[in-house]
Structure 1
């Protein structure tokens, strides 16, 4: 990565940059991600702690906090999903792959929560490692 990797929401109110490349990327097939994105799986990049710098709209980002999971950050103006953060963290831990302006340089390397995969779209036989639940154990 020669320059910071930038991204943001659909309307442009929220903008960010990463000063280090993402560590890896994953697909999540949980029901929560399906309902949040309207797709069969959510693709996200796991970022290096401290590498995110907000360029605009940090205070605008709203979070939905499920009882047993990470906060889901989104732009309240356009509804675009930005990323997720843990309750104990001050900043995002993941960025949605679709929020990047350009190729983030990583590809999803695993699929988690395949036990909850959408019945209307089979999980592809793409050789990626699969986890019935969370990849973090």
Structure 2
């Protein structure tokens, strides 16, 4: 049984606490990514992500620096002091921000609903996600996925 998402707003921050953020909208999806880039960024089997509408996410303390992935597709934002990877902002008018779910102050409710890049998944890594994708879903699939996630998680 997956815990219900707590009442909004939710807050979180980097390891040292210098960068803090607030979530004021429900996530579009709870995911993990198994790509080699995320494995290297996290020194783990995958990264955790809350796909957040842009207007439901705000940095409320500190400033981030871009590191890791940066360029034409997206920028990884980190705390300059502790180097925690806090969020990823895609380039262009995408309308969302990918927030590292385990940086929420109380992340016990997070449960990946979808996993991506399973073609690069380590053989022992199990997430319990109900949807799996060998690569990333096509952009035109996300509207249906978001609707299914919200229905299955009971998010209005």
TM-score normalized by the length of structure 2: 0.74
Instruction: Tell me the equivalent position of 1:16.
Output: 21
Instruction: Tell me the equivalent position of 1:44.
Output: 49
Distance in 2 separating the partners of 1:88 and 1:15: 24
Q: Does 1:131 align with 2:124?
A: no
Distance in 1 separating the partners of 2:97 and 2:124: 28
Tell me whether 78-87 or 91-100 shows the greater mean CA deviation.
91-100
- Bigger proportion of residues as helix: 2
Q: Runs of 5+ in structure 2 lacking a partner?
A: 1-5, 140-156
Distance in 1 separating the partners of 2:66 and 2:106: 25
Q: 2:64 aligns with which of 41, 57, 61?
A: 61
Alignment RMSD (CA, Å): 2.5
Deviation track 1:22-78 (CA, whole Å, cap 9, x = no partner) reads 121111000000000000111110112211122111xx2111334564211111100
Alignment check: 8 A CA contact 1:8 1:100 kept: yes
Which aligned runs of 4 or more in structure 1 are off by greater than 6 angstroms? none
- Count of residue pairs brought into register by the alignment: 133
Q: How does 1:1-137 map to 2 (within 5 A)?
A: 1-57=6-62, 60-64=63-67, 65-67=69-71, 69-88=73-92, 93-103=97-107, 105-118=109-122, 121-124=123-126, 126=128, 128-136=130-138
Shift of 1:105: 4.8
Higher relative contact order (CA closer than 8 Å, sequence separation 6+): 1
